[in-house]
Structures are given as C-alpha cells and as structure tokens.
C-alpha cells in the first residue's frame, strides 16, 4: 500500500495541470481537446475514488468499482425526467437510438420492458421487442437479464460515439 501513497498526489497533480491548461493544446483536426481532457480527468478521478473506497472499506478493486459505478451519474441533456417519466428531447431518433439513449440515462438501474414501452413514442411500440432483440443479440449493445435491460460497455460506447446523449 505504501507504494501507492505516492501515486495519489501525482494523479491529483495531473488533474490540476489539465484544469489549468485546458483549451491550450490542439492535437489534430477533428479532435476535441476538451473531450480528451474530460475523459482523462474523469478516468483519473474514478480511479482515485475507487482506490479510496477499496482502502477504506477493505474490498477488492472489482467490488470498489461496482460501488463507484453506482455513485457515478452520467449527464444526459437529451433526456428529461418528469417525475420518473423519461422524455427523449430528440424526436427524430429511430427506435434503436431512443432505447440506447433511455438505457444510457438509466445507467446501472436499467429498465423493464414496460418502462421502455411507456417512454418511447407510440409509433415505436409495435416493433420495440424486435428492436430490443436486435440490440441484445445482433449488436450486443444491450443485456437482457430476463427482467431488466441494461446498456453494455459497447452500448455506452455507441451512444457516446453517435453523441446521442447531447442536445442538438
């Protein structure tokens, strides 16, 4: 453990340096330094928090990561929550994008079929089961545990790659 004690201040220093130097480096055309900076900062902070949880609670790194994942909340401006009713603010999305975005908003809580059915547009409900099967079996973007649907890591990556979670 003592060897890691010296890593924490260095990790915090990286965050501090990125914060103070943001918008100063343009790496190449088409690369947003703000996104890269944010990705680095969030990853380092997640690691530091997970280490504190692991050390304080005396759990494994995997168990600490589960605790941290439960604490982390993604910002999804393209979805608005009205007392538990999730409204997607981009009506032009196709049903697969709608479902991915809704599950992205729900995070580790996932959603039941009934919840998803109530949140999608009425015209999307007829093909919702088929869409979910494709997202589970063909694309591996969604996991179905028999009672709830959850976004997989590749599903999260797809939402972020397509920037579905951002406002237009």
DSSP 24-56: S---STT--HHHHHHHHHHHHHHHHHHHHHHHH
- pLDDT, tens digit, 9 for 90 and up, residues 90-108: 989 999 999 999 999 998 8
Q: Which two tokens stand for residue 112?
A: 């039941």
CA-to-CA dists, residue 156 to 28, 32, 47, 104, 160, angstroms: 25, 19, 19, 7, 6
Domain ranges of the chain: 2-71, 79-161
Between CA 155 and CA 168 the distance in angstroms is 20
Between CA 62 and CA 110 the distance in angstroms is 20
- Report phi then psi at 95, rounded to 5: -60, -40
Task: List the CATH code of the domain at 79-161.
Answer: 1.10.10.10
H-run or E-run covering 81: strand 79-82
Whole-model pTM: value is 0.65
Query: Which comes out higher in pLDDT, residue 69 or 26?
Result: 69
Between CA 24 and CA 18 the distance in angstroms is 10
Helix (H, G, I), strand (E, B) or coil at 19: helix
Q: Which of 18-27, 53-62, 124-133 has the lowest mean pLDDT?
A: 18-27
Beta bridge partners of 151: 142
Q: What band does 4 get if pLDDT is binned at 50, 70 and 90?
A: low
């Amino acid at each position: 453990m003592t060897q890691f004690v010296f890593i924490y201040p260095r990790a915090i220093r990286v965050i501090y340096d990125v914060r103070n130097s943001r918008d100063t480096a343009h790496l190449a055309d088409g690369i947003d330094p703000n996104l890269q900076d944010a990705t680095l900062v969030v990853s380092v902070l997640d690691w530091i928090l997970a280490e504190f949880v692991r050390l304080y609670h005396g759990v494994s790194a995997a168990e600490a990561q589960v605790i941290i994942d439960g604490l982390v909340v993604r910002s999804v401006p393209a979805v608005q929550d009205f007392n538990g009713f999730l409204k997607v603010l981009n009506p032009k999305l196709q049903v697969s994008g709608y479902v991915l975005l809704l599950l992205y908003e729900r995070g580790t809580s996932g959603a039941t079929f009934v919840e998803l059915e109530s949140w999608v547009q009425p015209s999307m409900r007829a093909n919702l089961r088929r869409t979910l099967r494709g997202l589970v079996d063909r694309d591996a973007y969604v996991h179905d545990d028999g009672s709830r649907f959850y976004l997989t890591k590749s599903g999260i990556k797809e939402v972020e790659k397509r920037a579905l979670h951002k406002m237009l």
